[in-house]
Amino acid sequence: MSATTVVPARAAWSAVVRAGKQLTITDLHGNQAVDFLLYDAQDTAVRYSAADTVHAQGNIFLTTGSVLLSNEHTPLMTVTEDTCGRHDTVGGACSKESNTLRYGHHTWSQHACVDNFLAEGARYGLGKRDLVSNINWYMNVPVEKDGTLGIVDGISSPGLRLTLHAETDVLVLVSNCPQINNPCNGFEPTAVEMTISEAAV
């Protein structure tokens, strides 16, 4: 038994994924960033930690085998399949403030991932203080030897997918990124697909 939802361009999505089940995120049209936050569904004070995850795996990029760790260093989800190759942990979520700083005050009214996270998180009693560093599935943020980074054209293409196995009951918040000022969505946000299913044997 599986449940599939197509998340429209710029929209938010959330779900509780029970321990032992899997979540598959499919980039339907290619080059679409999917901003992602993760919490222990039983205690949302336990949530995804970029620092713990990056330190434990010794790599800032996520791919098959990456374990998403909490701020208590406990496993929340594991990437069991990835047909894209690598995903970002450092680019963060776009906001009205960051848009204004990077692209000019005229972008202030544009919808942003932080807006999506706040609206969707409110359904579970989460607020601004509960937003932490997020994952950007499919977003291409190369890091140069001198430490500089940039948001550049994606490496994803239509139909690529990744699958995450829930190690415990988790609450997933997603912002299907609405950014139009940099190449992370090819300057034209598109829909993605979320499927919750039984784990493969």
108-149 residue pLDDT tens = 787 899 999 999 999 999 999 999 999 999 999 988 888 887
Q: Do the beta carbons of residue 29 and residue 158 sit within 8 Å?
A: yes
Q: Is the pLDDT confidence value at 80 over 70?
A: yes
In this prediction, residue 47 has a pLDDT band, given cuts at 50, 70 and 90, of: very high
Mean pLDDT of the chain: 94
What spatial distance separates the first Cα and last Cα of the chain, rounded to whole Å?
14
94-117 residue pLDDT tens = 888 887 877 788 887 878 999 999
Compute the average pLDDT of residues 42-71. Answer: 97
In this prediction, residue 150 has a pLDDT band, given cuts at 50, 70 and 90, of: confident
In this prediction, residue 85 has a pLDDT band, given cuts at 50, 70 and 90, of: very high
DSSP 72-88: TS-EEEEEEEESS--BB
Give the CA angle between residues 152, 158, 163 to the nearest 5°: 90
Q: Spell 77-110 as b/e; 16+ CB within 10 A means b.
A: bbbbebebebbbbebbbbbeebbeeebeeebeeb
Tokens (6 digits) for 98? 């960051």
Q: Is the pLDDT confidence value at 201 over 70?
A: no
Q: Which residue has the higher pLDDT, 131 or 185?
A: 131
pTM here? 0.94
Compute the average pLDDT of residues 152-178. Answer: 96
Q: Which amino acid does the sequence have at 185?
A: N
Question: What is residue 32's predicted lDDT score, i.e. its pLDDT?
Answer: 97
